Amino acid sequence: MNKIKVLSDNLANQIAAGEVVERPASVIKELVENAIDAGGTRIQIDIELGGRRLMRISDDGEGMSRDDAILAFERHATSKIKTLEDLGRIGTLGFRGEALASIASVAKVELITKTKDDQVATRVNIEGGKLIDVKDAARDTGTTITVRDLFFNTPARRKFMRSEATENYHLTGIATHYALAHPEIAFTMTNNGREVLRVSPAKDLRERAFQIFGPGLLDSLLPVSGGREYVAKVTGFVSAPRERRTTRDAQYFFVNNRFVRDKTIAGGLLEGYRSVLPHGVYPVAFLFLELPGPKI
Ligand SMILES: Nc1ncnc2c1ncn2[C@@H]1O[C@H](COP(=O)(O)OP(=O)(O)OP(=O)(O)O)[C@@H](O)[C@H]1O
Ligand SMILES: [Mg+2]
């Protein structure tokens, strides 16, 4: 008897979700990236119960047609690449066509979206990967995605979610990261109805850092600009040695404008401060690394 079976799409999505959706903050990362890729100029993030009960992201980007709004939840469905060559010149944050399929397979998701050419908006409801309904709705051009009851159908994953405070820490970290990477975009974030971040469009990274961290930090920021084209360039700001933090929380690293947490970059930064900062004390850094795309 044959023993090999092809997995159902839904099960395949739930397995893939293990890679994409580790915790509430990974959902926010994917949805904020989508909002940025869609050309959003205002991004609103609402969180309840550390993302466990609700995460909602609204943007004023290009939106989706009704057919696209349904297709967006299929695995490997993307508007961002078409050919292998495109992989070598990706200009968007997303490209795999994985995120929405993965998120929708482990949560209850509502998408409301409208393009500028459509008269009415579309509302799509998906629960645990199952399409529940598609209806007309009303909204301006743009997209709102609401993710409720994350991991409602995967109890083991639900159990591994950390405390509300820990998840909030990661959620705020993601929002701050992308707010720094995109000073031109207005961001608002509420947590259990309380506003935790509000920044209007800024002219550059320095102004955005001022909006988020206040004037105190700005005085000790030193500009960084170095590296070599076609190898790696680095720009941004690091703090003067008088600015002393007991954690690495104020270190934000980006590779080609994507959020990264990376021990090698953090280690390299600390190495640069070895003779000026005592052990256990960390600098502030907003560092943007630019690397050429892969050769395909
Ligand atoms: N906020 C949004 N506004 C407009 N279109 C969107 C939005 N979010 C998703 N889409 C559309 O849905 C498609 C699928 O999104 P999804 O995040 O699953 O994949 P992706 O962004 O293409 O790749 P990745 O899996 O790497 O994120 C996108 O390619 C895009 O066309
Ligand atoms: Mg995406």
Q: Please say whether the structural domain 215-290 has been given the CATH code 1.25.10.10.
A: no
pLDDT band at 211 (very low <50, low <70, confident <90, very high): very high
- The residue type of 258 is R
Are the C-beta atoms of residues 205 and 286 closer than 8 Å to each other?
Answer: yes
Q: Do domains 9-199 and 215-290 have the same CATH topology?
A: no
Phi, psi of 177 (to 5 degrees): -55, -50
Map tokens 């709102």 to a residue: 144
Map tokens 């256990």 to a residue: 280
Q: How far is the CA of 128 from the centre of ligand 2 (A)?
A: 18
The share of the chain scoring above pLDDT 90, in percent, equals: 73
Pocket test for ligand 1, best of 100, 105, 118, 124 (most atoms within 8 A of CB): 100
pLDDT tens-place string over residues 233-277: 999 999 999 998 999 999 999 998 888 889 999 999 999 999 999
Q: What DSSP state is assigned to residue 216? A: H
Are the C-beta atoms of residues 63 and 142 closer than 8 Å to each other?
Answer: yes
* pLDDT recorded at residue 269: 93
pTM (two decimals): 0.93
Q: What DSSP state is assigned to residue 88? A: G
State the ligand closest to the CA atom of 145. 1
pLDDT tens-place string over residues 83-109: 888 888 888 899 888 999 999 999 999
Q: Is the CB of 79 within 6 Å of ligand 1?
A: yes
Name the strand (E) or helix (H) holding 167: helix 164-181
State the ligand closest to the CA atom of 36. 1
Range among 146-150, 160-164, 291-295 rated most confident: 146-150
* pLDDT recorded at residue 19: 79
Provide the sign of the torsion angle of the four alpha carbons 69, 73, 79, 80, taken in this order: positive
Fold observed for domain 9-199:
Heat Shock Protein 90 (3.30.565)
Q: How far is the CA of 100 from the centre of ligand 2 (A)?
A: 7
pLDDT band at 9 (very low <50, low <70, confident <90, very high): confident
Mean pLDDT for the stretch of residues 35-42: 97
* pLDDT recorded at residue 180: 95
* pLDDT recorded at residue 259: 84
User: How high is the mean pLDDT of the chain?
Assistant: 93
pLDDT tens-place string over residues 153-201: 998 888 888 899 999 999 999 999 999 999 999 999 999 999 999 999 9
Count of CB atoms within 10 A of residue 160's CB?
11
The share of the chain scoring above pLDDT 70, in percent, equals: 100
Mean pLDDT for the stretch of residues 214-230: 90
Spatial distance between the Cα atoms of 254 and 27, rounded to a whole number of angstroms:
18
Name the strand (E) or helix (H) holding 196: strand 194-199
Are the C-beta atoms of residues 109 and 96 closer than 8 Å to each other?
Answer: no
Q: Lowest-pLDDT range, 9-13, 35-39, 71-75?
A: 9-13
* pLDDT recorded at residue 1: 83
pLDDT band at 12 (very low <50, low <70, confident <90, very high): confident
pLDDT band at 229 (very low <50, low <70, confident <90, very high): confident
Of residues 11 and 207, more confidently modeled:
207
Which is nearest to 253 in space by CA: 214, 198, 290, 222?
290
Indicate the domain borders of the chain.
Answer: 9-199, 215-290
